[in-house]
Each structure stands twice: as structure tokens, then as C-alpha cells.
Amino acid sequence: MKTIILKHRFLYLFIILGLSISFNSCSSDDDDEPTPQAFLEKYDGTKWVNTDEFTFYIRLNDNPNKLIESWILFDDCYFYDVDFESEGVEIIENSKDELVIKYTDDGEIITVTLTMQGETLKVVVKEENEENIIYFDKTSENVDGLLICPV
């Protein structure tokens, strides 16, 4: 009889020990995988240059009031502009791989799509009957130090 009670106690002890170890070692699957960064979060503050026809710098910002800053070389100074800073701007998609911006200006709708192709930033600008594709290379140029044209 004592042997049966002793066996039951060991059985209960091992069950309790096994359950406590398994509960403590479990973790949520959500904690294991980091949340993928949105396009603007990932490329916030990055600077890009296109030199096909003229020198054209842009900087992406994770700031809805200052999404894209641009510097365009004009003679020996740069024209500075903050693109998409009006009320007619809507971010359609800001996923891990793509940023889509819809801009309405005087009734005209312009859609700008930014994606990465390797180390190159591809920008597709769609207007009513026209589509332009511009490729930008990453740069470390100090765009804040560029000479701005007087207004």
C-alpha cells in the first residue's frame, strides 16, 4: 500500500514538474518575429541623387508634413522644395516594400510610387495620360549644406 502511495506521489510530482517547465518555456509567436518596418520608417532621412539630365537630390522623411524634400541644380545654386506638403496629399500605401502617394493639384491627380530595386530607388510618377520613371542612387551628400538659390 505504501508503495502505491509513493508511486502516485512521484507520478504527481513529475506531472507538476513537467507542466511547470512547459508553461514557463512557452512564448508568444508575436514576440519572436519583429514587426516589419514601413517604407518611410526604413528609409527615413535617406538621400538620393539622379544626374540623368540635371542634378536632382531628394530626401525621404517619415513625416507627413515633409514627406520628400528636393534640391534641383539651377546654374550654380539649388532650387529647394518640399514636395507633397499640401492638404491634397494622401498616403495610399506605406508598406515594407512600397510607398504610394496620391497628390491632387487643381483637379489633376498625380500618383507617385516609390520602390527599391536593389540599391536603387525607383520612382514612378503617373499623371492622367503620362507616366515617368526616375531612378535615384543613394548618396551621402550633405544636402543641408547645398547653396540654395535666392527666392
Encode pLDDT of 8-64 as tens digits.
454 444 455 444 554 555 555 555 667 779 999 999 999 999 999 999 999 999 988
Do residues 56 and 70 make contact, with C-beta atoms less than 8 angstroms apart? yes
Q: Is 69 exposed, middle or buried (0-12, 13-18, 19+ CB in 10 A)?
A: buried
Predicted confidence (pLDDT) per residue in 92-149, tens digit? 999 999 999 998 878 889 999 999 999 999 999 999 889 999 999 999 999 999 999 9
| Average of per-residue pLDDT values in the chain | 83
| Distance (Å) of CA 107 to CA 24, 68, 129 | 60, 21, 14
- Give the three-class secondary structure for 6: helix
The candidate with the shortest Cα–Cα distance to 57, out of 126, 134, 139, 124, is 139
Question: CA-CA distance, 82 to 131, in Å (whole number)?
Answer: 21
User: What pLDDT, on the 0 to 100 scale, is given for residue 73?
Assistant: 96
